[in-house]
Amino acid sequence: MMNPLKITRRDTATGPVLHVVGELDYDQADDLRAELDRLSLDAGQCLVVELAGLEYCDSTGITVLLAARQQTRAARADLVLAAAPPHLLRILGLLGLDQVFTLRPDATAATGSADATGTGGSTGTV
Amino acid sequence: MCRAGGAPEPADPGDETDGARMDAAFTSLLEDSAEDLYDSAPCGYLSTMMDGTIAKVNATLLDWLGLERDAVVGRKRFADLLTVGGRLYHETHFAPLLRMQGDLRGIALEMRTAGGGRLPVLVSSVVKYGSEREPLLIRTTVFDAADRRAYEEELLRRRRDAEQARTEAERARAEAERARAEAEEARRQAEADRERLADALAVLQRSLLPDTLPELPGMEAAVYYHTASPDQLGGDFYDLFPVDEHRWAFFLGDVCGKGPQAASLTSLTRYTLRAAAHHDPEPAAALTTLNTVLHERYGRSEDPRYCTVVFGILEPGGDGGPTKIRIASGGHPPALVLRADGRAEFLPTPGGLLIGVLPSALISTAEAVLAPGDTLLLYTDGLTEARTGPTRESLYGEDALHAFATALAPAAPQETITALNRLLDGFGDGLDDDTALLALGVPATRSHSCPATDSP
């Protein structure tokens, strides 16, 4: 049942992009947490988490995404969830988190724009 | 025992010529054979007077002992040829017995060689008597027992080795027994620890969920709690309690994550909501308080914690009056009402946010009126997120739940819980999360009070 979580990272002009593939659940969410711990974000940068390959996300996975949000806010950086698949969008909607995360249809749109709070998807309310 | 060496006994001669030649050969062999047989026999011979003085001794024995004939014959007694120990044994046992019995066979003694060495031997002696039965002399044969002694020593050594091996095996067995006893003790200890832990978990679990539900005047309540893994504390919670003479508070929720961390959050959430409800029973106010507490407690920590909750206040209408319900939700799946007329409807609470994420809560509220025969159902997403197919995409979902409730309605709380319990059982392995269900309803035919049921 369980597919391993694969995380690859690339650095762009606007900030790091984490490409997350697999299942983000109780057993594997720590891998993403560890990857986030290794990031050093500068103020004004934008961390993009690219989620097109995300197959599953449970409440622990949601917690890690919220931790990433906390981490970027502490660094006065931005967080964008790019290409979130429908199942994740449904859960984010249920939890009201579509009001909290900045969502973009794809990573290119997220990094291509110098203005990280541009259009596309829902914008953060806080 | 002593066989004549080198000189076969003469056989019956053959024909005359050959016989004569054979006879001559045997004769030549036999001529010196008596003397040679005695002197060169493979065993020692000696004859002594009755006092032990050596009268005759063969070369074999002299050779063994490294002695000259002249130094022995007429000069030494048999006992002089023995070691001190041998001499002692000869005087106290050998000689008296020999005199008494007239012969002795195969007695082990030690002789002393000229070089100071010891020669283990087996001695047999016979007394020769005269015509008047008077003892004349003693004839003695001596066999070199060095090899035999070596063999016996080897046997002894083997026996000692075997004995030692047996002792070691015994010790190893004792050690194995002790190790087994220790392992058994460790196992019992582990078992005791496990039981203590299970007891502690059970006590903690009871602090997370009410033991029994209180009796609701004019209403019925039923709950069900499904634990995904028996050795994990639950991450779902519910409660039902009076806030004043006319109103009851209830809540049901789900903390993010699993295990002890989730359970500690469950505990904090339950008691915060209870306290908040007594302070201000307005549903949105209770959840706002909870959000403030969680955000203040975990908001800046490395390990933030969140939960979804639906919190409600229920005002029984009294005789015939409608029962009013007001609920508030923070990111929780919508409550469901099973109507007496057979419909089922969600109470949507869109826009409510997971509790603890933001410093100021986003709470969504809804209201409903329960008529006789109506049942309010609260559930956690273990129910709607249960897998119904081989992949994680095939989830049970809210639409299926709505259809199920529509088919079931009208249904009293216990009937609703029982039907959902069967539904959950049907999910089998697809149900991999804790699931809590709470149903509150007004009996279709009003009775004064129905006992609460619960089956956590």
State whether the Cα torsion B158-B161-B166-B169 is positive or negative: negative
CATH number, domain at B331? 3.60.40.10
Tell me if B88 sits within 8 A of B170, measured CB to CB. Answer: no
The amino acid at B373 = G
Task: Specify the DSSP class assigned to residue B449.
Answer: B
Beta partners for B48?
Answer: B54, B138
* pLDDT tens digits, one per residue of B373-424: 999 999 999 999 898 888 777 889 999 999 999 999 999 999 999 999 999 9
- Residue count (chain B): 456
Verify that B372 and B407 share a domain, yes or no. Answer: yes
Query: Least CA distance to A56: which residue of chain B?
Result: B392
Per-residue model confidence (pLDDT) at position B373? 93
Per-residue model confidence (pLDDT) at position B442? 92
Q: Does A94 touch chain B (CB under 8 A)?
A: yes
Per-residue model confidence (pLDDT) at position A121? 38
With respect to residue B306, please indicate whether it lies within any of the assigned structural domains. yes
Verify that B255 and B370 share a domain, yes or no. Answer: yes
Give the Cα separation of B209 and A60 in Å (integer).
22
Element (H, E) at B214: none
Verify that B341 and B435 share a domain, yes or no. Answer: yes
Per-residue model confidence (pLDDT) at position B5? 45
Fold of A6-110: Transcription Regulator spoIIAA (3.30.750)
Q: Does B334 touch chain A (CB under 8 A)?
A: no
Verify that B162 and B233 share a domain, yes or no. Answer: no
Per-residue model confidence (pLDDT) at position B228? 81
Does A60 contact B352 at a Cβ distance shorter than 8 Å? no
Distance of CA B68 to the CA centre of its chain: 76
* pLDDT tens digits, one per residue of B218-263: 899 999 998 887 666 778 999 999 999 889 999 999 998 777 788 8
Tell me if B321 sits within 8 A of B246, measured CB to CB. Answer: no
Query: Least CA distance to A36: which residue of chain B?
Result: B302
Q: Does B234 touch chain A (CB under 8 A)?
A: no
Residues of chain A contacting residue B308, judged by C-beta atoms under 8 Å apart? 95
Task: Specify the DSSP class assigned to residue B348.
Answer: -
Residues of chain B contacting residue A96, judged by C-beta atoms under 8 Å apart? 330-331, 351-354, 362, 364
Distance of CA B383 to the CA centre of its chain: 40
Q: Does B358 touch chain A (CB under 8 A)?
A: yes
Q: E strands of chain A, at which residues?
A: 6-12, 15-24, 46-57, 78-82, 102-104
Q: How confident is the model at residue A118 (pLDDT cuts 50, 70, 90)?
A: very low
Q: Is B282 exposed, middle or buried (0-12, 13-18, 19+ CB in 10 A)?
A: middle
| HSE toward the beta carbon, residue B149, CA cutoff 13 A | 13
With respect to residue B10, please indicate whether it lies within any of the assigned structural domains. no
Tell me if B417 sits within 8 A of B439, measured CB to CB. Answer: yes
Beta partners for A17?
Answer: A10, A48
- Which residue is associated with the tokens 């409800």? B277
Name the average pLDDT for chain B. Answer: 87
Q: Considering CB atoms only, which of A1, A58, A66 is closest to B357?
A: A66
3-state helix, strand, coil in chain B (%, to 5): 40, 25, 30
The amino acid at B347 = L
Residues of chain B contacting residue A66, judged by C-beta atoms under 8 Å apart? 304, 306, 354, 357
Per-residue model confidence (pLDDT) at position B30? 60
Per-residue model confidence (pLDDT) at position B446? 46
* pLDDT tens digits, one per residue of B13-34: 445 567 777 777 766 666 567 7
Residue A126 confidence (pLDDT) above 50: no
Verify that B104 and B199 share a domain, yes or no. Answer: no
With respect to residue B38, please indicate whether it lies within any of the assigned structural domains. no
Q: What phi-psi label fits residue B318: left (phi over 0), alpha (psi between -120 and 50 degrees) or beta?
A: left
Is the preceding peptide bond at B410 cis, omega within 30 degrees of 0?
yes
Q: E strands of B339-405, at which residues?
A: 344-347, 364-370, 375-379
Look at chain B and report how many structural domains it folds into. Answer: 3
Verify that B69 and B160 share a domain, yes or no. Answer: no
For the beta sheet containing A15-24, the strands, ordered from the edge strand earlier in sequence to the opposite edge, are A6-12, A15-24, A46-57, A78-82, A102-104
Angstrom distances, CA of residue B432 to CA of B146, B228, B275, B381: 85, 6, 32, 11
Residue B69: closest CA among B33, B110, B39: B39
Q: Does B331 touch chain A (CB under 8 A)?
A: yes
Distance of CA B240 to the CA centre of its chain: 46
With respect to residue B170, please indicate whether it lies within any of the assigned structural domains. yes
Q: Is B255 exposed, middle or buried (0-12, 13-18, 19+ CB in 10 A)?
A: buried
3-state secondary structure B36-55: HHHHHCCCEEEEEECCCEEE
Verify that B223 and B287 share a domain, yes or no. Answer: yes
Give the Cα separation of B377 and B334 in Å (integer).
9
What does pTM read for this prediction?
Answer: 0.65
Backbone angles phi, psi at B14, to 5 degrees: -90, -130
Verify that B231 and B263 share a domain, yes or no. Answer: yes
Q: Kindly give the confidence (pLDDT) of every residue in chain B, 456 residues in length, as a single tens digit, with 9 standing for 90 and above.
A: 444 444 444 445 445 567 777 777 766 666 567 788 888 888 999 999 999 999 999 999 999 999 999 999 999 999 999 999 889 999 999 999 998 999 999 898 999 999 989 999 999 999 999 999 899 999 999 998 888 777 888 889 889 999 999 999 999 999 999 999 999 999 999 999 989 988 887 777 777 888 888 988 889 999 999 888 766 677 899 999 999 988 999 999 999 877 778 888 888 999 999 999 999 989 999 999 999 999 998 877 777 789 999 999 999 887 767 899 999 999 999 999 999 999 999 999 999 999 999 999 999 999 999 999 999 999 999 999 898 888 777 889 999 999 999 999 999 999 999 999 999 999 988 888 889 999 999 998 644 444 444 444
Tell me if B439 sits within 8 A of B416, measured CB to CB. Answer: yes
Question: Minimal Cα–Cα distance from B378 to chain A, Å?
Answer: 15
Q: How confident is the model at residue A109 (pLDDT cuts 50, 70, 90)?
A: low
With respect to residue B32, please indicate whether it lies within any of the assigned structural domains. no
Q: Is B361 exposed, middle or buried (0-12, 13-18, 19+ CB in 10 A)?
A: buried
With respect to residue B407, please indicate whether it lies within any of the assigned structural domains. yes
Does A62 contact B256 at a Cβ distance shorter than 8 Å? yes
Verify that B276 and B359 share a domain, yes or no. Answer: yes
Name the average pLDDT for chain A. Answer: 84
Residue A124 confidence (pLDDT) above 70: no
Verify that B115 and B251 share a domain, yes or no. Answer: no
Per-residue model confidence (pLDDT) at position A58? 86
Alpha helices in B32-130 (DSSP H): 33-40, 59-65, 69-72, 84-89, 95-101
With respect to residue B371, please indicate whether it lies within any of the assigned structural domains. yes
Verify that B291 and B366 share a domain, yes or no. Answer: yes
Question: Minimal Cα–Cα distance from A20 to chain B, Å?
Answer: 17
Q: What phi-psi label fits residue B293: left (phi over 0), alpha (psi between -120 and 50 degrees) or beta?
A: alpha
Residue A62 confidence (pLDDT) above 80: yes
Residues of chain A contacting residue B254, judged by C-beta atoms under 8 Å apart? 59
Residues 6+ apart with CB under 8 A from B209: B225, B234, B237, B238, B239, B456
Does A97 contact B305 at a Cβ distance shorter than 8 Å? no
Verify that B244 and B382 share a domain, yes or no. Answer: yes
Per-residue model confidence (pLDDT) at position B149? 77
Per-residue model confidence (pLDDT) at position A2? 63
Give the Cα separation of B335 and B357 in Å (integer).
22
Element (H, E) at A90: helix A86-94
Domain hosting B355: range is 210-455
Q: Does B306 touch chain A (CB under 8 A)?
A: yes
With respect to residue B25, please indicate whether it lies within any of the assigned structural domains. no
